[in-house]
Amino acid sequence: MRYLPHTAEDIFSMLRVVGVNKLDDLFSTVPNDCRFKGDLNLPEALSEWELNDHMAALANNMAVSPEYKLFVGAGSYQHFIPASVSYLLGRSEFVTSYTPYQPEMSQGTLQAIYEYQTLAARLLGMEVATASHYDGATSLAEALLMAIRITKRTKVAVSSLIHPLYRRVIQTYFEPTSYEILQLPYLNSGVTDVSGLDRMDDLAAVAIQSPNFFGCIENLQAAGDKVHDQKALLVASFTEALAYGLLKSPGSQGADIVGGEGQSLGIPCSFGGPALGMLASSKQYMRSLPGRLVGKTKDLDGKRGFVLTLATREQHIRREKATSNICTNNSLCALAAAMYMASVGGTGIRELARLNHDKAEYLKRELKKAGFAIPFAGPTFNEFVVEFPSGFEDTYQRLLEKKIVAGLSLAAYYPELSNHYLLCVTETRSKDDMDALVREVKA
């Protein structure tokens, strides 16, 4: 096997040093009744060339762009990724290293993550961003637990327009605790109804996603004012990070903590993972943040360098008193995001975000013209909800045969919204793709 370098001679001489006769004898401390005596029942080893064929067959049994035209976002967005980003991300010095515990030989990862933290903080309008978390859902769950630690209160209010799958993750995280989750309903305009906040007391945090799951842009500022009146923290979330190339950042609207998904920033959909949990806060809360942080410092000669810092928050020092159990995070995804943000640049991200918005508006307008209802009138970014006539499911299936995926049915997540579909348009969908979609749904 090409990954195992030992020759028979190597094994023989090493066994002699160890003082045993055969490889099996190395396991003398494993009691006999703990030993597995048989052979593992696994498929026979494949050569590299057989593996290529096997994997290609599996990968070909998937519906992906460009053959398929997907109009689905809902937390996983197809955006163009420059070849330079993929290429640089493949540098094995980044890929095959581990958490930079030894900073002197990990300065590449450390500066890159410091730069990611900086660009992420700028994108979100916050002062401090962590080195990364698993995904948007776990970032948000950790953000809420963080708010509970800061305020020493026990309830959180979560908008019903937070991604439904994120809400399920929050529920899992909260289930064993005594903390309570309250849900904020949504208004006919497709944004969160915060009027009930006045009647909720002892709130640690209020979580609102913008753009929300329906694609609508929330007024975080107004919600934040209400939240702050209650001395609770505004936790802003997002699934489409690119939106902040155009929209006001959560930080500029008063968010105290931001937890969301950065997959849009140069990370392929990859069937939903790995993704990039982004988590940011204002400086006053930085010692309550979960997860790794990279800080700037100097070496013995006064030269600039970087280290993992504020480790006294972390599990390897604080064990059960840590701010989180996180160890391995999604560092390489953060690196991809930094490379992507640097590639699009300040000018480019604005243009790209505009293009996403304008394309989605085009499709929205064309569908409206074709007689379909847009139930939520509020402004959206690159996703929006359409109400199709009843029986649309058949049309949806027919479109699948034409290799068009006409959005995501909302009925499974919002039972009251049967025949409602969430459609997404990014820069990867052309006007022709959209015209074809409209033609087909009308047919």
Q: Minimum Å distance from CB 34 to other proteins?
A: 5
Could you tell me how far CA 171 lies from the centroid of its own chain? 18
Check binding of 401 to other proteins (CB under 8 A): no
Q: Whole-angstrom Cα distance, residue 11 to residue 22? A: 9
Stretch in the footprint of other proteins (CB under 8 A) among 127-135, 146-154, 225-233, 384-392: 127-135
Q: Whole-angstrom Cα distance, residue 106 to residue 69? A: 41
Identify residues 214-253 at the interface with other proteins (CB under 8 A).
217, 244-249, 252
Q: Who's near 68: CB < 8 A, 6+ residues apart?
A: 403, 404, 405
Stretch in the footprint of other proteins (CB under 8 A) among 180-188, 196-204, 296-304, 383-391: 296-304
Q: Considering beta carbons, is residue 194 or 353 the nearer one to other proteins?
A: 353
Q: Considering beta carbons, is residue 26 or 198 the nearer one to other proteins?
A: 26
Identify residues 182-201 at the interface with other proteins (CB under 8 A).
none
Q: Considering beta carbons, is residue 39 or 394 the nearer one to other proteins?
A: 39
Check binding of 90 to other proteins (CB under 8 A): yes
Stretch in the footprint of other proteins (CB under 8 A) among 187-195, 199-207, 359-367, 386-394: 359-367
Check binding of 206 to other proteins (CB under 8 A): no
Check binding of 101 to other proteins (CB under 8 A): yes
Check binding of 349 to other proteins (CB under 8 A): yes
Q: Considering beta carbons, is residue 127 or 230 the nearer one to other proteins?
A: 127
Q: Minimum Å distance from CB 229 to other proteins?
A: 22
- Residues recorded for the chain: 443
Check binding of 387 to other proteins (CB under 8 A): no
**Both tokens assigned to 416:** 């009251």
CB 271 within 8 A of CB 117: no
Check binding of 10 to other proteins (CB under 8 A): yes
Of 182, 187, 200, 286, which lies in the binding site for other proteins, with binding defined by CB under 8 A?
286
**Both tokens assigned to 261:** 């998904």
Check binding of 80 to other proteins (CB under 8 A): yes
Q: Minimum Å distance from CB 376 to other proteins?
A: 15
Q: Considering beta carbons, is residue 6 or 231 the nearer one to other proteins?
A: 6
Largest CA distance in the chain: 82
Q: Considering beta carbons, is residue 199 or 394 the nearer one to other proteins?
A: 394
Q: Whole-angstrom Cα distance, residue 263 to residue 329? A: 14
**Both tokens assigned to 385:** 């909800």
CB 359 within 8 A of CB 77: no
Stretch in the footprint of other proteins (CB under 8 A) among 11-19, 151-159, 188-196, 230-238: 11-19
CB 177 within 8 A of CB 168: no
Q: Let me know if 20 is exposed, middle or buried by CB neighbors in 10 A (0-12, 13-18, 19+).
A: middle
Of 234, 257, 265, 307, which lies in the binding site for other proteins, with binding defined by CB under 8 A?
307
Check binding of 318 to other proteins (CB under 8 A): yes
Site for other proteins (CB under 8 A): how many residues? 203
Residue 194: CA count within 13 A, CB half-sphere = 20
Identify residues 138-177 at the interface with other proteins (CB under 8 A).
138, 145, 163, 165-166, 168-169, 171-173, 175-177
Q: Considering beta carbons, is residue 231 or 368 the nearer one to other proteins?
A: 368
Based on C-alpha coordinates, what's the Rg of the chain? 25
Of 152, 328, 371, 415, which lies in the binding site for other proteins, with binding defined by CB under 8 A?
328
Q: Let me know if 6 is exposed, middle or buried by CB neighbors in 10 A (0-12, 13-18, 19+).
A: exposed
At residue 209, the 3 state secondary structure works out as strand
Check binding of 19 to other proteins (CB under 8 A): yes
Paired strand residues for 235: 207, 257
Q: Let me know if 90 is exposed, middle or buried by CB neighbors in 10 A (0-12, 13-18, 19+).
A: exposed
Q: Considering beta carbons, is residue 200 or 351 the nearer one to other proteins?
A: 351
Stretch in the footprint of other proteins (CB under 8 A) among 180-188, 193-201, 324-332, 367-375: 324-332
Stretch in the footprint of other proteins (CB under 8 A) among 180-188, 192-200, 225-233, 313-321: 313-321
Identify residues 420-439 at the interface with other proteins (CB under 8 A).
427-428, 430-432
CB 189 within 8 A of CB 214: no
Check binding of 382 to other proteins (CB under 8 A): no
Q: Whole-angstrom Cα distance, residue 382 to residue 359? A: 8
Check binding of 271 to other proteins (CB under 8 A): yes
CB 420 within 8 A of CB 372: no
Annotate 56-84 with b (16+ C-beta within 10 A) or e (fewer). eeeeeeeeeeeeebbbbbbbbbbbebeee
- Please name which of 429, 420, 255 lies closest in space to residue 357, comparing C-alpha atoms: 429
